[in-house]
Each structure stands twice: as C-alpha cells, then as structure tokens.
Amino acid sequence: MRDIILIAIVISCALLALRRPTFGILAFICVSLLNPNSMTWGFARFFPSAQYIAIGTFLGIIFWNESKKIPLSSESVLLFALWGIFGISTVFAIYPDASLEKLIYISKILLMVFLSTILINSEHRLRLLIRVIALSLGFYGLKSGFWAITSGGQFMVWGPEESFLYSNNAIGLALSLNVPILFYLAKTETNIWLRRLMMVMMVLSYPAIICTFSRGAWLTLAAMTGLMALYSDRKALTVCGGGILAVGVIGLLATGLMSAPERVQGRFDDLVGWENEGSAVSRFWNWEFCQRVGLARPFGGGFNFYEPELYPIYFPEFVEKYGTDKV
C-alpha cells in the first residue's frame, strides 16, 4: 500500500514541477535527503523518484517566465572550475570506465545545484529551501534519537538504506551539520508548532549522533555546538542546553543500562589514543597514498582509483610493512 502511495506522491510532484519548477527543486531535495523509497518493501523501493521529479523540474524551467541565468558569483565560478577539474581528471584517469561512471553521477548532482541557484532567487525561497533540508534530515534525527534512547544505546544508528546517507559516518555527519540549521530555524520560525518540532528534532539529534558511534560525527557535533554557544544569546542557549540535558536524563532513567556509556567510552578512548587505532591510522595511510598519486599524476588519478594493485607502485613501503591484506 505504501508503495502505491509513494509512487502517487512522486508522480504528483513531477507533474506539479512542470508548472512550478521551484516546487520541483524543493521536492527533489526532499526526496534525495529523506529517501522515502527506503521505507517501502515492494516495487517502489528501487523506483527512481528523484529522477522523475528532476525531469519534471527541467521541463518546467523551460516555460518558466522568470530569469534563467545562473547568478555570477565567486562561488558559482569556483564550482564550475571544480567541475572542470573533475572532467580533466577523468580524461587522464587510471581507470577511465570507473572514473567516467562516477563523473556522470557527480555531474547530475552539480547540475541540480546550478539549477537550484536559478530557481532559489529570493529570501522567501531560500528560507523554504532551508526548511526542507532541516526537516528532511531532522526526521531522521527525531526517529533515530528516540530509538537510541528507548533501546538504551545498544545498537548503532544507520541512515536510510540504498542512499548516500546509509553509513553511520554519513548520517552522523549529516545530522551534526543539521543541528545548527534547526537551531537557527527554531529561533526565527514564526509558526510556534513548527518551532517546537524543530527544537525537538534538534535535541533528539544529539543521542542519534552519539549512537552512530562515529568519531568524526562527534567532533563535528562538538564544533557545531561550540559555535552555537559562541554566537547565540543566553536565553536560547539555556533552552538548548536544558533540552539536551533532559533527553540525556530521560534516556538513562528509561533504560537503566550501562552498555551505551561503556561503548561510548570505548570509542572516545580510541579517539584520544588514535595513534594505536587502525581505523584512524588508515586515514593517514590513504592520505599519503593519494598525495603520491597526485604528485606522480598532476592531472589526477580520476575517481575510484583506490585499488590494491596501485599500492606497490605508489606506496611500496606500506605494502612491505603491512602487506596487501591491509589495503
């Protein structure tokens, strides 16, 4: 049943995008972040929802009676330059076929980014865009935060399946970056119920992020919280801190379990003593490998060149020390 409902909603959004492309770009972003297909189990699970809405938006902008020019700014120029660098790197890629496939995927994303700069051309539309992003990610903060508390933090939080936010690191980082957006909207939103919803989403994002057990997400959350504390007025900070503390206390009282604190402590110990933790050290290995590939190939190695067979060529001492099984 939910498959039919989702398909009907997607088709309706695509048709509406023909007349209102601004709605289309907002719907595209919502579907891309929320990934409602992961909440179905039938034929809609692999239905290209975002693609249909994107097509409707592209067709709609053809007949749009407003300006269709991409705003000329330093950001747009840099983004075009980055796109060009990706293209040049793909031409000289180590694995051309794999690199071209990734370039096509990224080009679709960048194309929608430039399309959004055309359509989101007013303060009102920009605020709508921020709302869509905040509420789409906030949904998973609300859902995962509640689940993290009721389960006692025994399980790892994951993002929506079949999406780029599926891994614990990806969803943790996304939720961490969404916290200040929710905080801003909760302070400035005129609708009191929407303001309360955003505050709840923000507060519950904290236990959700903690239970991703992603140290990168933890560091990001700490940085975002610090910036909010630095640039926020005292009243807003008190409300925010009180809400987070309340969730933590309720979570501990509701579960009475110590597994979450122990696991968090273990991950924190790994974060402090990163020199002895393989996952952290492997990042430095990868950075060194990428640096050597870049120095050897000034135009880059293209996308998806992380193959074991290249380590003996560009990083032989790594193979001598750790062997190919560590690659």
pLDDT tens sequence across 162-220: 888 999 999 999 999 999 999 999 888 888 999 999 999 998 999 899 888 888 888 89
* Same domain, yes or no: 147 and 223: yes
pLDDT value at residue 261:
57
For residue 151, being part of any structural domain is answered with: yes
In this structure, the answer to whether residues 308 and 234 fall within a common structural domain is no
pLDDT tens by residue, 88-110: 999 999 999 999 999 999 999 99
> Is the pLDDT higher at 304 or at 170?
170
Between residues 306 and 141, the one the model is more confident about: 141
Pair 158, 225 in one domain: yes
pLDDT in tens, 217-232: 888 988 888 888 777 7
Quick one: average pLDDT of 28-50? 90
- Write down the pLDDT at residue 277: 57
Percentage of the chain exceeding pLDDT 70:
83
Q: Is 233 part of any domain? A: yes
Binning pLDDT at 50, 70 and 90, where does residue 256 land?
Answer: very low
**Does 131 lie in the same domain as 38?**
no
What 3 state SS string does the chain have? CHHHHHHHHHHHHHHHHHHCHHHHHHHHHHHHHHCHHHHCCCHHHHCCHHHHHHHHHHHHHHCCCCCCCCCCCHHHHHHHHHHHHHHHHHHCCCCHHHHHHHHHHHHHHHHHHHHHHHHCCCHHHHHHHHHHHHHHHHHHHHHHHHHHHHCCCCCCCCCCCCCCCCCHHHHHHHHHHHHHHHHHHHHHCCCHHHHHHHHHHHHHHHHHHHCCCCHHHHHHHHHHHHHHHHHCCHHHHHHHHHHHHHHHHHHHHHHCCCHHHHHHHHHHHHHHCHHHCHHHHHHHHHHHHHHHHHHHCCCCCCCCCCCHHHHHHHCHHHHHHHCHHHC
What is the residue range of 58's domain?
1-66
Looking at the structure, tell me whether residues 61 and 178 fall in a common domain: no
Choose one of 31, 46, 66: the last residue of a domain: 66
- pLDDT above 90 (res 283): no
Residue at 73 is within a domain: no
Question: Is the pLDDT reported for residue 114 higher than 60?
Answer: yes
| 286 lies in the same domain as 245 | no
CB of 57 within 8 A of CB of 21?
A: yes
Give CA–CA dist 102/100, Å, rounded: 5
- 17, 36, 66: which is the final residue of a domain? 66
* 153 and 221 inside one domain: yes
Cβ-based burial of 49 (10 A; exposed 0-12, middle 13-18, buried ≥19): buried
pLDDT at 59: 93
**Residue % of the chain over a pLDDT of 90:** 43
Band (pLDDT 50/70/90 cuts) for residue 252 is very low
Average pLDDT, the chain: 83
Let me know if residue 316 belongs to a domain: yes
pLDDT at 249 over 50: no
- Both 137 and 247 in a single domain? yes
**By mean pLDDT, which of 124-133, 198-207, 234-243, 296-305 is the weakest?**
234-243
Number of domains in the chain: 3
Binned at pLDDT 50, 70 and 90, residue 268 comes out as low
pLDDT over 70 (residue 134): yes
In this structure, are 141 and 249 located in the same domain?
yes
More confident position, 269 or 145: 145
Query: Domain ends where: 26, 47, 66?
Result: 66
Let me know whether 279 and 253 are in one domain.
no
Task: Residue 168: count other Cβ atoms within 10 Å of its Cβ.
Answer: 18
Q: Is residue 133 part of a domain?
A: yes
pLDDT reading at 238 higher than 70 = no
Confidence (pLDDT) at 265: 57
Is the residue at 79 inside a domain? no
**pLDDT at residue 36 is higher than 60:** yes
Whole-Å CA distances, 195 to 26, 125, 178, 223: 20, 18, 15, 23
Q: Are residues 129 and 243 in the same domain?
A: yes
> Do 241 and 315 belong together in one domain?
no
**Residue 75 falls inside a structural domain:** no
pLDDT tops 70 at residue 264: no
State residue 287's pLDDT score.
83
- 161 domain-assigned: yes
Average pLDDT over residues 264-272: 58
